[in-house]
Amino acid sequence: MDLKALCFDVIEIAREVGIYIKMQESQLKQKDIETKSLNSLVSYVDKTAEKKIIAALKELLPESGFIAEEGTDETKGEKYHWIIDPLDGTTNFIHGIPMYSVSIALQENDQIVLGVVFEVSRDECFYAWKGGLAYMNTEEISVSKTKSIKDSLVATGFPYYDFKRQDGYFESLKHFANNSRGIRRMGSAAIDLVYVACGRFDLFYEYSLHPWDVAAGAFIVTQAGGKITDFQGGNNWLHGKEIIASNETLHSSSLAVIKAI
Residue 39 has pLDDT above 70, yes or no: no
Three-state SS annotation for 100-132:
CEEEEEEEECCEEEEEEEEECCCCEEEEEECCC
Give the least confident one: 69-73, 117-121, 178-182. 69-73
pTM over 0.85: yes
Alpha-carbon torsion angle 43, 95, 196, 104, nearest 10:
20
d(CA 236, CA 148) in angstroms, rounded, equals 25
- Report pLDDT digits (tens) over 136-186: 999 999 999 999 999 999 999 998 788 989 999 999 999 999 999 999 999
Give the pLDDT score at 31: 78
Q: What's the angle, vertex CA 257, arms to CA 254 and CA 261, rounded to 5? A: 125
Domains along the chain with CATH numbers:
3-140 (3.30.540.10), 149-258 (3.40.190.80)
Strand order in 153-156's β-sheet?
182-184, 153-156, 203-207, 242-246, 227-229
Comparison of pLDDT for 38 and 99, the residue scoring more: 99
Nearest to 152 by CA among 254, 255, 243, 261: 254
One-letter amino acid of 2: D
Q: Is residue 108 very low, low, confident or very high in pLDDT (cuts 50, 70, 90)?
A: very high
Q: Is 148 left (phi over 0), alpha (psi -120 to 50) or beta?
A: beta
State yes or no: pLDDT of 40 exceeds 90: no
